Copies of this chain bind each other. A is one copy, B any other.
Amino acid sequence: MNNTPQKDLTLDPENWDQMRALGHQIIDDLFDYWQSIRDQKIWKPMPDEVKEFLDQPIPEKGQNPQEVYEEFKKYIFQYNKGNVHPRFFAWIQGTGTPMGVLADLLASGMNPNTTIGEHSAMYVDRQVVNWCKEMMNFPAEASGILVSGGSMANITALTVARNSFGEEQIRKKGLKAASAQLVLYCSVETHSCIQKAAEIIGLGTDSVRKIGVNAKYEMNADELEQQIHQDIQEGLLPFAVVGTSGTVNTGAIDPMEELLAISRKYGLWFHVDGAYGALAKLDPVYSERLKAIEEADSLAFDLHKWLYVPYEVGCTLIRDAKKHREAFAITPNYLLQESRGLSGGLDSINNYGFELSRGFKALKIWMSLKEHGREKYAQMIAQNNRQAEYLASLVECHPNLELMAPVSMSITCFRMVKPGLSENQLRELNREILLRMQEEGIASPSSTILNGKYTLRVANVNQRTRMEDIDLLIREVLRLGSEI
């Protein structure tokens, strides 16, 4: 019966031994990189030659895998962003861990489509979502889904909130048919992904009420209630309040108890954007202040930030699993579930989110939590918070440094000051400090604008940072600032 006309093609290696050896070399190169990272520059500029190389058209012919890897090393590896470095403090970007990376290797190697069917990845995914509920003290009957990160976690939750609103049947009929304009509430300090989510799900920028904040950058609850009241008077339909646990600028925590109470009073969905700071619950210093998170209707948080796993993975938890499923479930003919075989097993995960095909992103969380246990993560997160407080204490002790916001969680905003400089000159001074610090490869804070003032911003979800790195950062800010 075999009448194959020609040799079958494959993309598997022509030379398995060579490819295996390349795998071993990559392991060694990565471990060498991690073990020496403390002594490396955090960042270096990309020469024009590298940019030109990375701007060539698609290759028609293949080349030897070892050669491809050498090009990778020459043009890509050494110009890394740097968020694996112990002195990377920019933008709330996690470090990753070696075990997390090995888990990604295994996930990619197994390559299971983790959406449907009776196979191990489905059970690991479920277990990890359950562990997320445990970390957040969410009820066991809540539902959840692992997504690519905070933006997707938030938009997933807000879609459920929107679809669950009243008797509007928005999933079926759309927003045009709603009885009035829906509006949602967050603060002026809320992450841009909330506005973006509102725009994407059809509510529009104008539907986002950005409530003012107090001196600690926390949402003003009285203003929130007034705005809800006014919107109701105007015939609009308030449907959700978004509280932030750890704002991106300063780590501020909105007044969770009050937002929860107001949400309940007006029958609104209470969503918490904890992309950065929900996991601060594990630090005893913050656990009480974040208690009300446990009562939220939905919660979004990232694992590639403060669980230190490699990109990409975030999580959405939804208190009411039925509403969650009703927002997304579709079963096409080619995905019928069976009671036996590969199509058996757990409820399909695509019934709980945007995506059909899904990778095995649960595995890195599974292996990481197994490796360290919840306790170690609690200590690690607490350490980042103490590092931020320590940095603030150094700032406050020095006459040429100014703390620009109260320290909350692991973010410290400060700037260098010199007598007699105007605001514009201070901006240029600190901007120059930041750029030179990156250009010299020393450390990488980022910047932001607070009350119109340019500030250095140290956002630390880094598992490699030591107290001595904080000392070094301050020394270098002062050195660079004095040289400018």
A475: nearest chain-B partner, CB-CB: B1
Nearest CB of chain B from residue A109's CB, rounded to whole Å: 4
Which of A61, A173, A357, A434 neighbours the largest number of chain B CB atoms within 10 Å of its CB? A357
Residue of A50, A57, A109, A370 with most chain B CB atoms under a 10 A cut-off: A109
Asked if A467 lies at the interface with its beta carbon under 8 angstroms from chain B, I say yes
Q: Decide if A340 is an interface residue (CB 8 Å cutoff).
A: yes
* Cα distance, A261 to B19, chains bound together (Å): 48
Among A3, A11, A376, the most chain B Cβ lie within 10 Å of the Cβ of A11
> Nearest B residue to A116 by beta-carbon distance?
B91
- How many chain A residues touch B (Cβ–Cβ < 8 Å)? 188
Does A333 belong to the interface (CB within 8 Å)?
yes
Counting every copy of the chain, the complex holds: 2
Whole-angstrom CA separation of A134 from B60 in the bound complex: 11
| A178 is an interface residue with CB less than 8 A from chain B | yes
A45 located at the interface, meaning its Cβ lies under 8 Å from any Cβ of chain B in the complex: yes
Chain A window 76-93, contacts with chain B (Cβ cutoff 8 Å), 1 for yes, 0 for no: 111111111000001101
Stretch at the interface among A119-127, A252-260, A399-407, A414-422: A119-127
CB < 8 Å: which of B13, B16, B62, B117 contacts A376?
B62
Closest 9 CB pairs of A and B: A202-B202, A174-B204, A311-B359, A4-B467, A104-B108, A81-B112, A79-B120, A23-B27, A341-B438
| Complex partner residue of A91 from B10, B105, B155, B334, CB under 8 angstroms | B334
Q: Does A175 contact B (CB under 8 A)?
A: yes
Of A188-196, A211-219, A292-300, the stretch lying at the interface with chain B is A188-196
Cβ of A35 under 8 Å from chain B: yes
Q: Does A135 contact B (CB under 8 A)?
A: yes
Would you call A285 an interface residue if the criterion is a C-beta within 8 Å of the partner chain's C-beta atoms? no
Chain B neighbourhood of A181, CB < 8 A = 174, 176-177
Using Cβ atoms and an 8 Å threshold, which residues of chain B touch A457?
A: 334
Chain B residues near A310 (CB, 8 Å)? 108-109, 111, 359
Q: Which residues of B contact A119 (CB under 8 A)?
A: 43, 46, 79-82
Known A62-B373, A335-B91, A370-B68; judge A159-B200 contact (CB<8 A): yes
Among residues 86 to 110 in chain A, which have CB atoms less than 8 Å away from a CB atom of chain B? 90-91, 93-102, 104-110
CA distance A131 to B58 in the complex (A): 5
Residue A71, interface by CB 8 Å: yes
A311 to B111, CA, bound (A): 6
Say which one of A144-152, A222-230, A266-274, A316-324 lies at the interface with B.
Answer: A144-152
Q: CA separation between A120 and B74, bound complex, in Å?
A: 11
> A318-338: contact bitstring with B at CB < 8 Å (1 yes, 0 no)?
000000000010101111101
Give min CB distance, A179 to chain B, whole Å: 9
Are B375 and A171 neighbours in the complex by a CB distance under 8 Å?
no
24 A-B contact pairs sorted by A residue (CB < 8 Å): A1-B471, A5-B467, A9-B463, A10-B463, A12-B463, A20-B27, A46-B119, A59-B370, A63-B370, A65-B99, A76-B363, A79-B119, A80-B112, A81-B113, A93-B357, A101-B109, A155-B354, A176-B181, A177-B206, A201-B202, A249-B334, A310-B359, A338-B435, A342-B444
Once the chains bind, are A334 and B447 in contact (CB under 8 Å)? yes
* Partner of A151 from B96, B127, B355 at Cβ < 8 Å: B355
Residue of B nearest to A375 (CB): B60
* Residues on the B chain within 8 Å of A108, using CB: 96, 100-101, 104-105, 310-311
A338 partner residues in chain B, CB cutoff 8 A? 431, 435
Contacts of A196 in B (CB 8 A): 328, 330, 354
Q: Which residue of B lies closest to A356 (CB)?
A: B151
Chain B residues with CB under 8 Å of A302's CB are 357
Bound CA span A107–B107, Å: 13
- A372 contacts B463, C-beta separation under 8 Å: no
Determine which residue in A81, A328, A358 has the highest number of CB atoms from chain B within 10 A of its CB, and name it. A81
Q: Is A118 an interface residue (CB 8 A)?
A: yes
Q: Does A75 contact B (CB under 8 A)?
A: yes
A182-B176, A341-B439 known; A311 and B371 CB under 8 Å? no
Nearest residue in B to A169 (C-beta to C-beta)? Answer: B204
